[in-house]
Amino acid sequence: MTQRLAGKVAIITGAGSGIGRAAALLFAREGAMVVLGDKTEAVYATAEAVKAAGGTATGLVGDAGIEADVQQLVAFALAGDAPLAVAFANAGISGGLSNIFDSTPELWSEVLRVNLIGPALMIKHAGRAMADAGRGGSIVCTASVAGIRSGAGGPAYSASKAGVINLVMVSAQQLCETGVRVNAICPGLTETGMTRPVFDYAKDKGVTEKLGRLNPLRRAAQPEELANVALFLASDESSYINGQAIAVDGGLSSSHPVVRQLPGQTAV
C-alpha cells in the first residue's frame, strides 16, 4: 500500500501530547518526515516515539504564538532536500471555563495569541514557503466545535476557534492559484493534555460514562480519531477540499445542546 505522505516534510505543532502526538505517529507511518513543535519538552518524547516506530522526526521546543519560533520550525523543515508539503497548526490552550463577565483582557489576549495568531503565523510562513516552491501543499488548523456555535467552551476559547474557521476560509482565497490548500478540523470532546482535567475529574467522581454523552455517539473521542481526519486533509486524497472546517465531534454540532449560563455563573 502506498504511503500517503511519502517523501514529504510535515510540520506539526502541539506535538507533545494528544492530537499532535497521534498525528506525528500517524503522519510518520504514512512516510512523512515530521518536524514537531511544542512549548514543553514532551515534544522530544514524541520525536523518540516516532523514531522507535521507524519514522524520521525532529522535535523543537517553542511557542506556536511567537513568530520567531514558528519561523524556526519552518526554516528547519525547509533545510533538507524533501519538500515541505504539510503544516498542521494544532497547538492550542483552553483558557478555562470562566464566563464572559469574569474573563480578563489578559486571558483573552493569551488565548487569542496561541489559538488564532498561532495558526495565522503558520499559514503566513509555511504557506508562503509552499507557494514559493510551486509544488502546492496542505495546511490543516485545529479549530473546535466551540467555534461553530455556543455551548462547547469558554468565551475566549470559542471566539478564538471561530476565528480559526474564518481564517482558513480567508487564507484559502489568499493562496488562490498556488495549489496550497487550507482547511480546519473541529474536534468535539477529545481526551488530550488540554482536556485532562475534565477526564481526571470524571474519573475521580466515577462518572466517566457521562463524558461525551451529549453527542449521538454518546462518547468522547480519542486523539487518533482526529489525527485520521487531519491525515486525510494533509494528503492528496482531499485534493479538492479547500477553505473548509470539518467537524469531528460524534455529531455534537448537529444540535449543540447547552446548559444556559446566567451572569456570575461558571459553566460545568
Active site positions, annotated: 157
Distance CA 260, CA 115 (A): 25
Residue 192: all three cell numbers together = 488530550
Distance CA 87, CA 70 (A): 11
User: How many helices and strands in the chain, by DSSP H and E?
Assistant: 9, 7
Q: Half-sphere exposure of residue 183, counting CA atoms within 13 Å on the CB side?
A: 22
